[in-house]
Amino acid sequence: MKITRVSATPLNLPVSVSISGRTKTTSLSVCLVDIETDTGLTGTGMTAITEEEVIGSIVNDIVAPHLIGLDPMRHEQLWDKLYWLLTPRGQSGYASHAIAALDLALWDLKGKALGQPCWRLLGGARNQVPVYATFGFAFFDREELAEAAKSWVARGFKRLKMTVGHHGLQRRDEPRPLDELIAEDVQRIRAVREAVGPEVQIYIDANCSLDYFHALQLAQRVEPYGISFFEEPVSHNDIPNLVQLRSKTSIPLAAGQNEGLASRFRDMLVAGAVDVVQPNACISGGFTQSQRIAGMASAFNTRFANGGAWPHHNMHLHGGLANGSLVEYHSVAVQCCKLVFDGLPEPEAGVLTLPEAPGLGFTPNRERIAELALRPLSRGAGKA
């Protein structure tokens, strides 16, 4: 089997969330990558939480000519080639997103060629994975947030994640000080805890939007509400800050969804910076690099879970590997996937059952993708 064509389709996908009869609209950018072969089989990968048109250009203009004619089954050879092509001095950034999408396309192709789902090729540890629902977005006010939390629990989800920090450091040119924002976050978390009762697990995610001081303030003030982990509490996952924060709060810390280099995870693990490492298959170099990171987590007896959404890709990693665990059922990202793919599994009672169909087990809807590709691109505005 030989690669005959490599192409990317950047998309800015419209999504809407309704609560209390009101509808909030937003968008998310993703980039799909297709790898076609001389056998007629095509693999499709994906990345997100980045500038979709940059990834489109990397794949179409830089990568494609380097992969034509190569054997797509040799994922280690191709991953290494992509690493040295796009990341020769360890600069990561957009490159790891592009490599992730290409690597997922190769694994989808491998599964189709071998007649096996990716999760089984990755090791087949289990055919079901527990999920947590990411439901609590900044565009909800406090009452809407509490109501949304209750509705997810009523749908069978016992694990819920909400955002905090609301891009705090990005808004320092606004007059609202960060301590006001933290005070409101404390009230929002309290409202959710009171709405769902003591049995539901609540996770919080600051998306790298706080400095150390405010992350510590928030952690200490919400400890009484029973937080199961605090994800990306500080800007750029600063390792010394994480180590210090972890020593001052009983809330477990999680990070890693946007890291491109495996060595960043090694550094977090060696420093004891986090309780949970979260490589994302769609961002952290695909299944190939994420399984190396999961191996390091195992050696350090540190939890490994999914952050950064895209459950339908990450479920294969967490189903495949023995130390796989929670998968993030991010409600906005799931809506995006439903626009683009057919045959996605639905969680039942907070559990996703992995597909038996070969490869990733779901299918791009080409007609709908062609329509969505006509929409204007996000120009940096379509990030989760």
Residues that bind Mg ion (CB under 5 A): 205, 231, 307
Copy the structure tokens of residue 330.
């991010």
Q: Max alpha carbon distance in the chain (Å)?
A: 59
Smaller CB separation from Mg ion, 51 or 205: 205
Smaller CB separation from Mg ion, 103 or 231: 231
- Tell me the closest approach of the beta carbon of residue 175 to Mg ion, in angstroms: 27
- Tell me the closest approach of the beta carbon of residue 229 to Mg ion, in angstroms: 10
The neighbouring-strand residues paired with 254 are 231, 276
- Tell me the closest approach of the beta carbon of residue 359 to Mg ion, in angstroms: 26
Copy the structure tokens of residue 25.
């609209």
What is the sign of the dihedral through the CA atoms of 21, 24, 25 and 29?
negative
- Tell me the closest approach of the beta carbon of residue 139 to Mg ion, in angstroms: 16
β 22-37/42-48 pair status: antiparallel
Smaller CB separation from Mg ion, 52 or 205: 205
- Tell me the closest approach of the beta carbon of residue 282 to Mg ion, in angstroms: 12
Is the Cβ–Cβ distance between 24 and 17 less than 8 Å?
Answer: yes
CB count, 10 Å around CB of 274?
A: 30
- Tell me the closest approach of the beta carbon of residue 29 to Mg ion, in angstroms: 16
Helix axes 239-248, 262-271, angle to 10 degrees: 40
Smaller CB separation from Mg ion, 260 or 307: 307
Smaller CB separation from Mg ion, 233 or 324: 233
CB count, 10 Å around CB of 313?
A: 29
- Tell me the closest approach of the beta carbon of residue 276 to Mg ion, in angstroms: 11
Smaller CB separation from Mg ion, 108 or 205: 205
Residue of 69, 100, 75 whose CA lies nearest to 6: 69
Smaller CB separation from Mg ion, 43 or 307: 307
Instruction: Please tell me the distance from the alpha carbon of residue 270 to that of residue 337, in angstroms, as a whole number.
Output: 35
357: exposed, middle or buried (Cβ count in 10 Å: 0-12, 13-18, 19+): middle
Q: Residue 18: helix, strand or coil by DSSP? A: strand
